[in-house]
Amino acid sequence: MASTIQETVEKVQIRTSRLEFIDFARGIVMAIMAWDHVSGFWNELHHGGEGILGRAPPFADTLWFLLRFVSHYCAPSFIFLAGTVLALSAAKRLSRGESEANMTVHMIKRGLVLLFLEAAFVSPAFTLPWTYFGVIACIGVSLIIFSVARKLPTKIILALSLIIVLNHSFLSLDFIPTRPNWGWYLRTILHEPNFERWPYFALYPIIPWVGVMGIGWSFGNYLSGKDLNEVKKLKVPIAISGVISIVTFFIVRWLNGYGNLLARRGSSLVDWLYVSKYPPSVAFLLWSLGGMCLFLALGLHLQDKEWFHKGVTGAILVFGRNPLFFYLTHLWLYRARWPDFAPGVGAPPFFLELGETLLFWVVGLVVLWQLCLRYEKLKRKYPKPILQYI
């Protein structure tokens, strides 16, 4: 009886201390991301690389394109909401009396942990060298940047972030030499993602993505000054923002100029939707962040329903509360084989059909749901050690 009461209290504490519509939106994109990765690990016709060095690799057909395209929501939402949650967490810590110095050190430590996890756990899951600079490393560096940048007024952070997002395509790093290798690697990490020179690989350059995190940070600071009733009233404005963003996406694609790092080559569905992710074009971010806003608005609409914490939506909330643990675990769960560090090697022992991959994805999500629940209990039992950084 006592344990049941304790579990009930813990659930109430979780619900009242978090903005669950954020967990809901993040949980949705985590589940979609899992689909992208399991398909990438086991489907011969699944691929990505949209926009690397201005290239547009062809897809086998429209279905396989759409199965990849749906995952475009993931990275922008993941990074935007990382900034949002970071701002909320920082405001909460400071309100409890934590010093500015301790807050700075905490963010730097967390950033360094993310860089370590990218090198030690994420890179081998993708059969990539430890020097690979992916989304986790990008967030890690952004956290270190915001350990200092957070002291700027929110309006300045928002203005600078918008300037970066809207104008990074005009940036040229030609002044940095590509020989020796440090120059090449620096360019890939800052703004020019590519896989051309082993092992200096990068997909998520800092410059455009720190701008996305900055917009998310500004949103988090905006939310931190509101009570729950005020937050609920944001449902319609957030939904309208999402619709406007998606409509603007189609305008940008129709004009076929600014905002399109990959030009629209025709009028087919694929032509309209094929946008640059590496680096993120304005069109790409309009579509993906617009969809994220709709997920957030849906979360605000559903969060007062009695069944919100049960069933599928309950599992989605669990994913959203444990994004980094989910990310690290799902890679190795879906990879389901030992890493291979040899360049160019990484194909599975056999390929799965689409239906088999979908089944694997769903079963994996059930397993991940249970693992995340157990991880939450572990964190509540041991709140202070390294687990606080994961």
Name the percent of the chain lying above pLDDT 70: 92
Integer Cα distance of 312 and 321 in angstroms? 14
Angle (CA) 238-241-242 rounded to 5° is 90
CB 40 within 8 A of CB 46: yes
Q: Is the pLDDT of residue 16 over 70?
A: no
- How much is the pLDDT for 355? 96
Read off the pLDDT band of 344 (50, 70, 90). Answer: low
Read off the pLDDT band of 55 (50, 70, 90). Answer: very high
- For 61, the 3-state DSSP assignment is coil
- How much is the pLDDT for 385? 61
Q: Is the pLDDT of residue 18 over 90?
A: no
User: Over the stretch 61-75, which tens digit does the pLDDT of each residue have?
Assistant: 999 999 999 999 999
- How much is the pLDDT for 380? 85
Instruction: State in Å, rounded, how far the first CA of the chain is from the last one.
Output: 31
Read off the pLDDT band of 297 (50, 70, 90). Answer: very high
Name the percent of the chain lying above pLDDT 90: 83
Instruction: Give me the amino acid identity at 247.
Output: V
- How much is the pLDDT for 1? 45
- Choose between 384 and 219: higher pLDDT: 219
- For 126, the 3-state DSSP assignment is coil
- For 258, the 3-state DSSP assignment is coil
Burial status of residue 251 (CB atoms within 10 A of its CB: 0-12, 13-18, 19 or more): exposed
C-alpha 70: how far from chain center: 14
Q: Mark residue 311 as left, alpha or beta (left: phi above 0; alpha: psi -120 to 50; beta: remaining).
A: left
For all residues of the chain together, what is the average pLDDT? 92
Read off the pLDDT band of 115 (50, 70, 90). Answer: very high
Residues pairing with 259 in the sheet:
257
- How much is the pLDDT for 49? 92
- How much is the pLDDT for 225? 83
Q: Is the pLDDT of residue 317 over 80?
A: yes
Mean pLDDT of 346-366: 93
- How much is the pLDDT for 67? 97
- For 44, the 3-state DSSP assignment is coil
Integer Cα distance of 319 and 44 in angstroms? 28
Q: Is the pLDDT of residue 343 over 70?
A: no
Judged by average pLDDT, the poorest of 14-18, 86-90, 114-118 is 14-18
Burial status of residue 83 (CB atoms within 10 A of its CB: 0-12, 13-18, 19 or more): buried
Read off the pLDDT band of 3 (50, 70, 90). Answer: very low
